Amino acid sequence: MKKMLMMALAVILVVVISVSGTMAYFTDTEAVVNTFTVGNIDITLDEKEDEDGDGKVTFENILPGQTYDKHPVVTVLKDSEKCYVFVKVENGLKDIETKTAADTIDGQLKAKNWIVLDADKQPGVYYKVVEKSAVDQPFAVFESFTVREDAKNADMQAVDNKTIEITAYAVQAAGIDTAADAWTIAQNAEQYGA
């Protein structure tokens, strides 16, 4: 009987070990991966007359009543995020520029749907809101400069700054309420070298 009891215990022990060894738990695992990409805004400022690409165009011996071609173009490159695009036009020749409103640099900008930011506080600053696009988006700034017909040599010599300087800026539109806010950001970035 002792042998049978031992045999029975041995069989029970083998069964317990077998059952516990094959026991499994139901499990499940899931993961969520968040991928972030960085948005970008990229612009260029080119001018047809700038043949050597140094950003400078020289007009020699300008004359009263003459029109000079000048074709600055700001391009928002493809896949740039929606943005405010600004041009700042510093027209050192405005005192000898034509008086015909449509032919002035200001008149040409407005005809090309550039919006004046604030003529009193930010003279010469214009902007557009540009949507994201899969293709480059070029925007002409203006096309020419005309010296007024009654400008005398003395008038032209009296002009201190005989340049027209155009600077382009772009600032993301997302999270920025107004063009004025975007312009402040652009100026701060320029001031701090961003």
Please state, in angstroms and rounded to a whole number, the distance separating the CA atoms of residues 96 and 79.
41
Assign a CATH topology to domain 43-191.
Immunoglobulin-like (2.60.40)
pLDDT of residue 124: 94
pLDDT of residue 192: 58
Q: Can you read off the two tokens belonging to residue 184? A: 């402040």
Q: Are 143 and 108 in contact (CB under 8 A)?
A: yes
Q: How many CB atoms lie within 10 A of CB 170?
A: 22
Residue 110: its H or E element: helix 105-111
Question: pLDDT tens string for the chain (194 positions)?
Answer: 666 656 656 556 555 556 555 556 777 777 677 766 667 899 999 988 767 777 677 888 888 999 999 899 999 999 999 999 999 999 988 889 998 999 999 999 999 999 999 989 999 999 999 999 999 999 999 999 999 999 888 878 887 778 899 999 999 999 999 999 999 999 887 665 55
**The pTM is what?**
0.78
Domain residue spans of the chain: 43-191
Rg, the chain, Cα only: 35
pLDDT of residue 54: 73
Please state, in angstroms and rounded to a whole number, the distance separating the CA atoms of residues 59 and 67.
11
Q: How many CB atoms lie within 10 A of CB 107?
A: 14
